[in-house]
Amino acid sequence: MVQVELPVVDISSYRCYHNETGSANSSNASLPVDIERECFCIAQALARYGAVVIRDTTVSAEENNAFIELMASYFAHPDKAEDARPQLNYQVGWTPAFTERPRPIPADFHGDAPVTPRPQSVPPITSQDPKERFLWRIGPRPATSRFPEQNAPPVVPRRFAERWSQIMDRWGHRLLDAIQLVAEMVALGLGLGRDAFTSRMKDGPHLLAPTGSNLSGLLDRPNTVLAGFHYDLCFLTIHGKSNAPGLYLWTREGSRFPAKVPPGCLLVQAGLELEWLTGGLIQRGYHEVVADEAALALAKAHMEQQHDATGKQRRPFWRISSTLFAHIASDQVLEPLAGLAGVTDSSRVKYPPILAGDLVRRELMAISLCPSATATDTAS
């Protein structure tokens, strides 16, 4: 495994520029030199690594920690079945462990080997992920949509109702605000108007999407795969700092490396919707999550410390991801954007027009979250 250091881009200057210039649809031809350089750096990092680290002075460690603590308490609770919404393809509420099944590793993938095993069956069938997840909607939804399951009302866990919405909304909007600025910067870095992506994100099915994995039961099983080798189907994914390591990324050249989120920073990954809109200039980022030795060491230390007066353990150690999926609005058409340098006729053949909601349905069906009967395309 090679040592890869993702570029770190401070978005504070761009935030000030954004606030000063309002909603003007600036092009990169009119940008200050330092802003232009930062926008180009973000776009290039996503193209090369599928990921970039951003430094954001508005990030609050206290808010992230409150979110992590809430989700650790929630996932540790044994009875969560009432919060699941399988009829909505698990697009809000709780997703049980061993529900999501990642796609098989592509046959043409020749990078560093994942910990995720390649299935030996024909056709290949992957193992279901042992992680749990909770999806909480962030931001407004459209009044009407062809995809109601992707724009459904939120689920508030009954036992946490008093504090749930406040903590989830505060942290979720913090992440969404940051990723919208990043989307503007990526557009400018690619030579587009700054609202090329954000105008399509308006009323999108953005989801605060923490995963939970009980590491206390895995101390004798190092390198257990928690989330198999996969890519994200959204536009951009943004992560705050998790309470344990274990996320590994791949560069476009195929090098595997551990993700690191320095204090005051957030990690951004490219998703499938961004690949579609850029005609493959920026490609989806592959990654996996494993219970590595560093994560299990934290779990062991937690177990040694967290006992009550009788010696009984109070709560197992859950690895919590601080994740938000930013989406293009479900009823928007995905296709390579006009005016984007480097998009070819073959790119337009590879990425034909499709509604974002249809692409999401196809992907959810492929990972066993959506029944095939509901995944019929609604537009061509």
Q: What is the DSSP string of 194-238?
A: TTTTHHHHTT---EE--EEEEGGGGTTSTTEEEEEEE--SSSEEE
Q: Could you say which DSSP state residue 84 is in?
A: B
pLDDT in tens, 31-76: 999 999 999 999 999 999 999 999 999 999 999 999 999 999 999 9
Burial group, residue 108, by CB count within 10 angstroms (0-12, 13-18, 19+): exposed
> How much is the average pLDDT of 373-379?
45
- Does residue 309 or residue 153 have the better pLDDT? 153
Going by pLDDT thresholds of 50, 70 and 90, the confidence category of residue 251 is very high
Is the bond leading into 117 cis (omega within 30 degrees of zero)? no
Cβ count near 2 (within 10 Å): 10
Tell me the C-alpha distance between 27 and 334, whole Å.
22
Q: Name the most confidently modeled range: 111-120, 306-315, 348-357.
A: 348-357
Tens digits of residue pLDDT in 80-129: 999 999 999 999 999 999 999 999 888 888 899 999 887 766 566 778 99
Mean pLDDT of the chain: 92
Residue 155 three-state SS: coil
What confidence score (pLDDT) does residue 107 get? 83
Average the pLDDT over 15-21 and give the result: 94
Helix (H) or strand (E) holding 291: strand 287-291
* The one-letter amino acid at 328: I
| The predicted structure's pLDDT at residue 123 | 65
- Give kind and range of the element (H or E) at residue 52: strand 51-55
Angle at 365 between CA 359 and CA 366, to 5 degrees: 90
| pLDDT of 376 | 43
Domains of the chain: 8-374 (2.60.120.330)
